[in-house]
Amino acid sequence: MTDQPSVLDEVPRELFIPEVIWDDNPDGHGFVPVSRTTDRQRWLELVNSTGPIVTQVDDGHPVDGIGRVPTSSSSQPSLVAMMLDELDVKPGHQVLEIGTGTGWNAALLAHRAGPDGRVVSVEVDGQVADKARAALAVTPYRVTVIEGDGTAGFAAGAPYDRVIATASVRRVPTTWIEQTVEGGVLVLPWGTDYCNGALLRLVVHGDGQASGRFGRSLEFMRVRNQRNTFLDPSDEQIEQADKSTTTLRGGDVYELVAFERAAFIIGLRVPACYLTHWADIDVQYRHIVEFHDTASGSWARIDTDPRADALPVWQFGPRRLWDEALTAYEWWQHNGQPPPQSFGLTVAPDGTQTVWLEKPTGHGWEIQ
């Protein structure tokens, strides 16, 4: 295991990690609390690791001491360093951060902006915001932490030279662009319901629009007012679903769900489709892959059991989600299998957002 990037050593992460964090539940699904007071060794192992640290579950309301869904975290140090490099904060810059979390990233931003710069960080969760303020108060870094909806930005502190988000979006809030100076840079995780997500770096132009290209894979929590939702098919629905088979094999299905393969383009061509998949621990190479559209109540499932002569497919509801995903996959194959880095996004002043292939005048998909 390698040390966290040296570029981050200037602000130790440990100073910002709360008393209680959350670890994978060794007895099954979910997360269990780890206290610095009662289990300091494990707490330090997590804090000094190179991975992300879950600092809140279930919006701060776990049931029976078991966390179901992580809702705030301290990001993986290597991703923090990479995003800071992309943002390129200079001394004197005015910076807006969306998603304060522990306050560590805000302190790193303040370190780069220097005494002549300014950092405003917006956090939607009041308890998280309070803990971040307390952590920042005992450091030399001055950050204004605002409790509120980060998708609204913070107009009172505008304009900003740099904007960074630590939660992903499927539509870029136009307020972020409106509050950024011409030539300013926005760095954020972006993703569709199907594929969450990719690094996006936008530059604001003089005509009020912003554009830029996608980069590497980033899996960040979604901003709360754009969260994904999924279905839980009942036994009755599974029985009633239309059943068929596909000639695809397990390796082909992998291409449908992998970021660097077809998942990015499928997310563009199959909107409002949430992807989930899990492995069968008893059968090697067997995965169950599901596609969900909660608005229409539609879902599809494919079983990649390597023992099957033909992979079974179930589809339920007015949308044929497997058929849609398969059509998008075939488009990707027939158009040179473009990687996510071949795509970019333009946000127009009227709020229209278009993902394009290769160049802004290329093939495009409007994001709803």
Residues marked active site are found at 73
**Cis, bond preceding 197 (omega within 30 deg of 0):** yes
Give, for 176, the enclosing helix (H) or strand (E): helix 174-178
Distance, in Å, from the CA atom of 244 to the CA atom of 241, rounded to the nearest integer, reads: 10
Pick from 99, 115, 85, 192: nearest CA to 151: 99
Q: What are phi and psi of 20, to 5 degrees?
A: -120, 125
H/E segment holding residue 328: helix 321-334
Q: What are phi and psi of 254, to 5 degrees?
A: -55, -40
- Report residue 351: phi and psi, to 5°: 95, -10
List the structure tokens of 219.
């899996």
**C-beta separation of 107 from 141 below 8 A:** yes
**Tokens (6 digits) for 262:** 């077809």
| Contact criterion met (CB below 8 Å) for 299 and 285 | no
